[in-house]
Structure 1
Amino acid sequence: MDAEVNINDKNAAKSSLVTVKPVVNAVRILRFLSQAAAPERSVDIARKLDINPSTCFNILRTLVTEDMVDFSPMSKRYSAGLGLARLVEQFVTQGQKVQLAKPLLESFAARSKVTVTLWRRMGLDRIVIVSSAACPTDVRIDMSEGQRLPILMGASGRLYASQLDLDQPQSKAIFDKIRWGGTLSYEEYRDQVRDASKRGWAIDDGNFSIGILAVAAPVYSPSDTIEFTVSAVMFRGQRDETGIAELGQSLRNLCDELRSVLF
């Protein structure tokens, strides 16, 4: 009897699942391209998968933007992108590498009396916490793994911003949509990004959240792009200007250690 109840419960759960058709179609397209022997035209993909041609084209264009699909302007054909292959590889190995980095984060958090977060870029306009370690004290700041922010936000955002063209209207548009904790003009922000690039670490003093100060340093990939950042989060006033600079340099040293673990 118990087994029958469990089976019925599972069937009921499946029947109650809500599916989002564009997401389903995107997965079908990715599966199709990963199995295709040669690049395909949008119209042929739509016909073979029985997807509305306009919908198929828009999904493909979005997947190209996210590096999941490659597009050849010469042949007008689509194929599985390098981003998809990297994503599959990362599912297998990146999680393990992040776990290996965890003890380093925990040690730094306890030694420096800060909360440490490991951030990674997600798509074109977001960053996400993939690991976090809080200082083992009664009063501390907790940052949850999986938390996402706009790519320009916080101390880590200033580092990722150094790889973007801040003179482009798109960058200004992203900035204007952010709800900053304190007053910050775009000109001030660009100056802070330049300063961060010169010294090798960035600071957010109350702009992410009033009363919170964060210092971040980059973890460079073998191709010298910023793949991860490490941020130390604390209460404002916890360190003076000299202490903040020392923390920034300590984070740079930590990032050098993490680079050998994560890549």
Structure 2
Amino acid sequence: MNLKTSVTKAPRANGASAATAASGAAVMVKPVSNAIRILRHLTQTGAPERATDVARHLSINPSTCFNILRTLVAEEVVDFNALSKTYSAGLGLTRLVEQLVTQGQRLQLATPLMHDLAARFGVTVTLWRRIGMDRMVLVSSESSPTDLHIGMPAGQRLPILMGASGRLFAGSLGLSDKQLRDEFDQLRWARPLTFETYMREVTRAKRRGWASDDGYFATGVLAIAAPVRDPSTGISFTVSTVMIRGDRDEAAVEALGNAVRDLAQQLETVIF
């Protein structure tokens, strides 16, 4: 059984949503784009270059290119040789890449913990990463070894407020009730769900440390999720379990919710 459901309505004709506007997902900021192009160029060439040469190769205004390079030097991702007046990829950029690779390796350490919970409760366990203010992406999934399980493909993206994980993110984005309602109105649920009910579930999730979605995201599916917090106590990931709706009683759901919350706390020590 594969679970990959379209959950957003067509985009509104006028204006961007509050979360999209906050994340800049629909906006191309040219100086940022040029900075990334410069970094990519310096790492690909592997040889120091003068600012004028970088500007010529990338067709960037020389003055703009010079100012971006100075900023990148100040941020320690580009090195400047005062004698030759040349720029090259800096040690700070290498450290950023190393940190990204290290986190990828740490995510692999989460797999056996997720597998254990999947086997113990007969559920599918998924790990979601927050992307900006408006999306989350599925980065890992472990299925139960039973004959019947719910498969979810890695790379699937969902609106930040969707499902059980969405009820966790909703309480941490710092959006006003109006902004949350505007975002909520853009979601397409499998069965009717009012904003008032959704917000009561957001509040309940804060209180007990885990959230649930009882067939609203996908028909016939119960999901339970808990937050995986980074060192700043922000929610960077969520760990979620999905199972057939109505397959277990309230006490069993409560026990699973507590187990998911405990797993999330374990993952915090592994991932960060």
Task: Give SS of 2:149's match.
Answer: coil
Deviations 1:184-235 (A, max 9, x none): 1111111110000001100000111110000111111111111111101001
Pair 1:160 & 2:160 matched: no
- The 5-angstrom pairing of residues 214-225 of structure 1 reads 214-225=223-234
Task: Give SS of 1:177's match.
Answer: coil
Please report how far the alpha carbon of residue 148 of structure 1 lies from its aligned counterpart in structure 2 after TM superposition.
0.7
Output the CA distance in 2 between the equivalents of 1:114 and 1:227.
23
Q: 1:200 aligns with which of 202, 206, 209?
A: 209
Deviations 1:5-27 (A, max 9, x none): xxxxxxxxxxxxxxxxx699854
Pair 1:30 & 2:36 matched: yes
- Pairwise CA RMSD of aligned residues? 3.1
Task: Give SS of 1:156's match.
Answer: helix
Structure 1 unaligned blocks of 5 or more: 1-21, 36-45, 61-83
Task: Give SS of 2:254's match.
Answer: helix
Contact 2:225 2:257 in 1 (8 A): yes
Output the CA distance in 2 between the equivalents of 1:169 and 1:29.
35
Output the CA distance in 2 between the equivalents of 1:47 and 1:173.
45
> In the alignment, which residue of structure 2 is the partner of 1:104?
113
> In the alignment, which residue of structure 2 is the partner of 1:91?
100
Q: 1:133 aligns with which of 125, 128, 142?
A: 142
Contact 1:202 1:215 in 2 (8 A): yes
Deviations 1:161-185 (A, max 9, x none): 1102453433222211111111111
Structure 2 unaligned blocks of 5 or more: 1-27, 43-54, 69-92
Output the CA distance in 2 between the equivalents of 1:47 and 1:163.
45
Q: 2:155 aligns with which of 146, 154, 170?
A: 146
**Counterpart code for 1:210:** T
Using a 3 Å threshold, how does the CA distance of structure 1 residues 48 and 129 change in structure 2: closer, same or farther? Answer: same
Task: Give SS of 2:185's match.
Answer: helix
- The 5-angstrom pairing of residues 53-68 of structure 1 reads none
> In the alignment, which residue of structure 2 is the partner of 1:14?
none
Task: Give SS of 1:127's match.
Answer: strand
Q: 1:191 aligns with which of 200, 208, 212?
A: 200
Aligned residue pairs total 204
Please report how far the alpha carbon of residue 93 of structure 1 lies from its aligned counterpart in structure 2 after TM superposition.
1.2
> In the alignment, which residue of structure 2 is the partner of 1:79?
none
Contact 2:133 2:173 in 1 (8 A): no
Using a 3 Å threshold, how does the CA distance of structure 1 residues 104 and 121 change in structure 2: closer, same or farther? Answer: same
Output the CA distance in 1 between the equivalents of 2:94 and 2:103.
13
Pair 1:235 & 2:244 matched: yes
Please report how far the alpha carbon of residue 97 of structure 1 lies from its aligned counterpart in structure 2 after TM superposition.
0.7
Output the CA distance in 2 between the equivalents of 1:24 and 1:204.
40
Contact 1:165 1:171 in 2 (8 A): no
Output the CA distance in 2 between the equivalents of 1:129 and 1:95.
14
Deviations 1:71-104 (A, max 9, x none): xxxxxxxxxxxxx999645531111011111111
Output the CA distance in 2 between the equivalents of 1:47 and 1:184.
56
Structure with the higher fraction of residues in helix conformation: 1
Contact 1:119 1:130 in 2 (8 A): yes
Output the CA distance in 1 between the equivalents of 2:241 and 2:94.
32
Pair 1:113 & 2:122 matched: yes
Deviations 1:121-148 (A, max 9, x none): 0122001111100001221100111111
Output the CA distance in 1 between the equivalents of 2:150 and 2:176.
34
Contact 1:166 1:172 in 2 (8 A): no
Instruction: Tell me which of the two structures has the higher relative contact order, counting C-alpha pairs closer than 8 angstroms and 6 or more residues apart.
Output: 2
Q: 2:253 aligns with which of 224, 232, 244?
A: 244
